[in-house]
Structure 1
């Protein structure tokens, strides 16, 4: 009789080929069960290596190198300080300079172009390296860990799913739960409203919990804590991998009420003084070398002392709101860490606290904004408008962002900010490593040059898991990241990452053996690149052994060294599908311009039905810069039937076809600053009705105006005029909805709570014409 589950015959899995193949069992030769005792359960289950640690990665959004108090910054972040005190700090850790590419690189161990994420998915093109779709030759870290016996969960922002794959139709291959995560609770966009987020649980669109003073970051912490407790209760011997990536501190800067005034008056000295104080503290703490200089400030950033008092007050308030937002985020991360400690898991848990997926953001431009969509659509808010509405900053009535001067200050000691991949202000971020079981640190500073792609191989090595060679029958590309374990073992070891390229938009550069060369061509507060042709932009060169902050350009002094690095950049670019370098920026939000796939392809028409909600803008029929018609078949009952028939966007930009007091209405919301109404004069009759809204676009460019005509049962009911339309984007996260509005209302004539249509909607048909921008 065969022996089952024989402990004398150990099974050694081949972890380089995933999924791990289970062992074969000899057949039972006894024909009847009563002649053969019941064997023990099958022995084979996929288990993590013995004593494998838990892994917990925190990734904050849009936080500069010089923001956190743990690195000398002005914002007190107790959790970061606590982990740094008993952990290690990396002061030369790098990201890609923009969120989605950094996240794709972090979660894979491969450069962002190697996983086709040259930029955010909403700016994807048809070129290799910028397709937004991860190749099967690269398997995400979460999947590798899951197939090696880990429980895996992601909470927060996922910006790596191609924009056109975010609907209920999928495909779901690039969603978190099909990319290695057992659990996903978060949102699929570059940003979201912290009070009214577009949430998914797995692949299901859900409503946020009905909770007074709801805030997304708190919700994410709640869900993370619950999941960890449940996971350990059910499988205490199974390690977990948790990726906690809140939307904070990306705009909108939504700080809960009690945090909005926490730092009142602390930034009245302005951004110039902040830069200087931060550098002084960094030097004192040993975070940067003692000879570090403050790099020159961009010429576009005004000297604080030259500003009028009314502007100083406004900008100081913007920074107070951001600081409160950052502190609140750190406090929620602290709740997660506290839970790990209470569960007695902290000792054997690897924690990486990465403070920023890129540098601080200058996308608020020179004055900051009440509504970030104004900057995205190149429609700057007048200073008078911002001053009049500054009392709304941080609340759900604003979608605010601070002035770019604060971004430069929070990236101290560097010159530039987010999106400028060719400068450490854009691509260098503070990182804390904490793993007491193996590395009992005291806040020591490790200065080896590393990149976010080095995280995955580090985790694999520390967990005793080999880098896979084959996954699901597909041969894997050689790992591009370098494990940082050698630096953890020997803090003074020579850095093992000798070369690393950087490229976002038309900002690009390369690090090699202590030198850095790059080109600055596209600023986050400018619509167009600085140079008509990127190839004409000048290269800069820095000797990093002598110049930590890239304050002294030595390109003219060492022309041969510059030529050497330019050649290396070209070689790295060829190797990783970096070319062609793309500098067009926000105009690529329009898929017609970018050439990326859309779910609609050449279709110019769609028919929707009641209950279809949550379709994100970049997965919907393109409605901007063109004429369109919305035709709804509805039935109303006795008396007035009110509610939304169809809406896209929300309070900060969008449009809505709705019924108010029985009267059909159309509202076009231009960036929350102007609302254009077209309303019928008579209520609908109590029967089936056809309501048709025709918009005729003026043409002649992006965001132009047009005329509206409203028909009821094929009879003209009203005419209107829209002077300006949204040309680039209504919203990253607000959606197209039939029969209600999900997050925020397009118009204050109704609320989200009473937006549900009270009658019946048979269909909503939308037809569009080709774009008319010439």
Structure 2
């Protein structure tokens, strides 16, 4: 077709500056309607930009002068552990923070870390947020998904929607355990829940010297081993985020959540920090607990007439311990104190950095703990993971005393020290008595909060922290995200300036594993035992005159008990508490193992990254077979490692032999066989005749059983380091080699087969008996 000489080409028209109707006259057709207009485009599209109207996307812009927000979360740190809450552990930097603002004396949490974090992150009660307990598994009910509800808008999403830059460092623990792997789903990872940058780990705990599951955004990373310590690393990363923010987006305020793993088990600290506290706890828990109460009275944290409740069940008097026992027990608390002191040093570095950056005055800093001191160590142990596997004897513990707190230990302190952490309250983490849910909360905002070092007695709950921070930042509590649940907490901002401001709420329910409590005005009921079990009943306390639950008034005021009981039921029905989880702690913790089902076949072609423990094959307590096909038999190195020396199974080649070991330090089950130079196929097999402990282990090389062992002390539990093929990074699974001890042959393929039949009632009872058994005395 010939070109019309009377019409310009499109290029010629644009070059001549002809636009609009003139362009049409020059032969340019009007621009057709485009999909962008139907998708919310608010400008006008013509054939050329000079005739069009742009629609420049506008980011949300916070109001001028909006404050930065820094939330520091401590883990398993009790009400009395910090210096400014009566503790003898030196915390000068946290004390400095408290001196610049407020300490709350009636702040309450949920009793465990995941549930508290869910409430803090969303402003919802924990069951409403989908995490009524921990994140081990989905129980199949709305309040116990173990995964943050997708319609629960997070703190980061709300602040990001308002134009803030949001960063997370440290523990996360609000996504379902088995979603933490390279394939996800990542819907509840920090980067998917509103954080622009994150540096984090998922589980309830981490090894402080060699963490295996550390993520930068959505990618797992391996930190350097030499000189590494997690608390310092998280402080360093928080500082890096703050400096980058100031350099690149200093025109915007930031939200940062810094969630330290300390002082959650394992109690691990730098050697020089532990040495600082040598001898500091030789007086024992009875003396230290009384001394903390005296300091709390002097500070006005508790009434002058407050008395300590009797010793918690199972806590012996210090003077009944022999000298060797006292030395071991003191060591646990020396390590614990060292962990707190190192966190405090990091807080000081962050305060100094904020001052240097010019941000301190207009930064709201909230520092809290997620629940009370933990009873998980019972009588104290150098290896917490050994408690379901026979424990550690006193003689074995004495041999390890100098290693306790170092990289070759996985310790936890005893009930006696947990009682000190929770002074002046009864019981511990996991409980709904105040020892489990009464925690420190410090708030400082120098530009706006005039108070310096004052106390606030308002009753508030973890659910109230987000609405308080939103209110302070001038951000509406209502979220524009489609389907977002309304916030259930209430702002406590009025207490910033007014010590007599009313409580943000007059009622709050508590539920944790069947333990319950209800606060209504000055009255508090708390259950004696787990819901539905024999002997359970309500205790009643008048918190106005008895703030630490020492005088049970239930028999005197049954009318009040009945009123609060009705209130608890109403709140429970409103917040997805039912059905109450009446399983034992062991059944809840090992639900995936006991329930059975799920994946029972893995086909792996190395090399592959570590498979995190929650997503790796369940080997302990099940029949399994791990078959490796080799292209080169090699001479040394790890074939597979599941877990580590504190709890795990490993196969490796060394000095002409192949080893198959199960370790739960100091417990060891091992068999070995000669390693031929021409191995093509090797299988490592566990066959149980009575789950979870009795069975036969074998090594099969090229179809021939090369070694076998029968045992009635096979291991149970969840290793803390996942599955690795061909190497063993982070914490080694056996002290017979140095990590990573990479295999120098070549593994073509790994096939893993497990028995995923559900446990029956008898097998669960056998596992429960092992868990409840006291440590071996031999």
Distance 1:457 1:261 in 2: 42
2:48 matches 1:27 = no
Distance 1:45 1:694 in 2: 58
Q: What RMSD in Å do the two structures reach over aligned CA positions?
A: 2.2
Distance 1:67 1:123 in 2: 31
After superposition, the Cα gap between the structure-2 partners of 1:559 and 1:209, relative to the gap in structure 1 and judged at 3 Å, is same
Pairs within 5 Å for 1:121-140: 121-122=135-136, 124-140=138-154
Whether contact under 8 Å (1:681, 1:718) holds in the other structure is no
Q: Paired residue for 2:560?
A: 561
Give deviations 1:378-400, integer Å, cap 9, x for gaps. 63322222122111111001011
Give deviations 1:271-319, integer Å, cap 9, x for gaps. 1111111111111111112222212221311111222222112211211
Q: Paired residue for 2:632?
A: 636
Q: Paired residue for 1:675?
A: 668
Q: Paired residue for 1:18?
A: none
Q: Paired residue for 1:216?
A: 230
Whether contact under 8 Å (1:123, 1:586) holds in the other structure is no
Superposition deviation, residue 115 in structure 1: 1.1
Pairs within 5 Å for 1:35-434: 42=56, 44-122=58-136, 124-197=138-211, 198-210=213-225, 212-354=226-368, 356-366=369-379, 368-375=380-387, 377=388, 379-421=390-432, 423-434=433-444
Give the SS at the match of 1:534.
coil
Give deviations 1:182-230, integer Å, cap 9, x for gaps. 11112111001000112111111110135x3210110111111111101
Superposition deviation, residue 22 in structure 1: 11
2:764 matches 1:748 = no
Whether contact under 8 Å (2:662, 2:715) holds in the other structure is no
Give the SS at the match of 2:653.
strand
Distance 1:32 1:542 in 2: 76
Whether contact under 8 Å (1:506, 1:534) holds in the other structure is no
Pairs within 5 Å for 1:544-693: 544-583=543-582, 584-592=584-592, 595=595, 601-636=597-632, 640-669=634-663, 671-685=664-678, 689-693=680-684
After superposition, the Cα gap between the structure-2 partners of 1:642 and 1:288, relative to the gap in structure 1 and judged at 3 Å, is same
Superposition deviation, residue 40 in structure 1: 9.6
Give the SS at the match of 1:582.
coil
Bigger mean CA offset, 126-135 vs 432-441: 126-135
Q: Paired residue for 2:726?
A: 739
Pairs within 5 Å for 1:683-762: 683-685=676-678, 689-699=680-690, 701-702=691-692, 704-731=693-720, 734-753=721-740, 755-762=741-748
Distance 2:536 2:303 in 1: 31
The structure having more radius of gyration, on CA atoms, is 2
Distance 1:655 1:395 in 2: 22
Superposition deviation, residue 458 in structure 1: 0.9
Whether contact under 8 Å (2:372, 2:436) holds in the other structure is yes
Superposition deviation, residue 603 in structure 1: 3.0
After superposition, the Cα gap between the structure-2 partners of 1:728 and 1:580, relative to the gap in structure 1 and judged at 3 Å, is farther
Give deviations 1:501-528, integer Å, cap 9, x for gaps. 1111122111111111011436xxxxxx
Give deviations 1:340-387, integer Å, cap 9, x for gaps. 111010001010011x21000111102x00001123x26332222212
Distance 1:41 1:128 in 2: 42
Give deviations 1:481-508, integer Å, cap 9, x for gaps. 1111121132211212111111111221
Distance 1:338 1:482 in 2: 32
Whether contact under 8 Å (2:45, 2:53) holds in the other structure is no
Whether contact under 8 Å (1:665, 1:677) holds in the other structure is yes
Bigger mean CA offset, 220-229 vs 377-386: 377-386
Bigger mean CA offset, 168-177 vs 333-342: 333-342
2:475 matches 1:475 = no
Give deviations 1:412-466, integer Å, cap 9, x for gaps. 0011111112x11110101110001110321111001000111111111111111
Give the SS at the match of 2:439.
strand
Distance 2:389 2:513 in 1: 17
Whether contact under 8 Å (1:124, 1:588) holds in the other structure is no
Normalised TM-score (structure 1) = 0.90
Whether contact under 8 Å (2:205, 2:264) holds in the other structure is yes
After superposition, the Cα gap between the structure-2 partners of 1:178 and 1:251, relative to the gap in structure 1 and judged at 3 Å, is same
Distance 1:263 1:657 in 2: 39
Distance 1:148 1:78 in 2: 35
Distance 1:25 1:593 in 2: 55
Give deviations 1:46-74, integer Å, cap 9, x for gaps. 22222211110001101010111111112
Q: Paired residue for 2:537?
A: 538
Superposition deviation, residue 39 in structure 1: 8.9
**Structure 1, gaps ≥5 residues long:** 3-20, 523-530
Superposition deviation, residue 592 in structure 1: 4.2
Q: Paired residue for 2:30?
A: none
After superposition, the Cα gap between the structure-2 partners of 1:343 and 1:40, relative to the gap in structure 1 and judged at 3 Å, is farther
Distance 1:679 1:456 in 2: 56
Give deviations 1:704-748, integer Å, cap 9, x for gaps. 1321221111122222234422223222xx111111112212212
Normalised TM-score (structure 2) = 0.89
Distance 1:49 1:749 in 2: 61
After superposition, the Cα gap between the structure-2 partners of 1:47 and 1:742, relative to the gap in structure 1 and judged at 3 Å, is same
Whether contact under 8 Å (1:625, 1:771) holds in the other structure is no
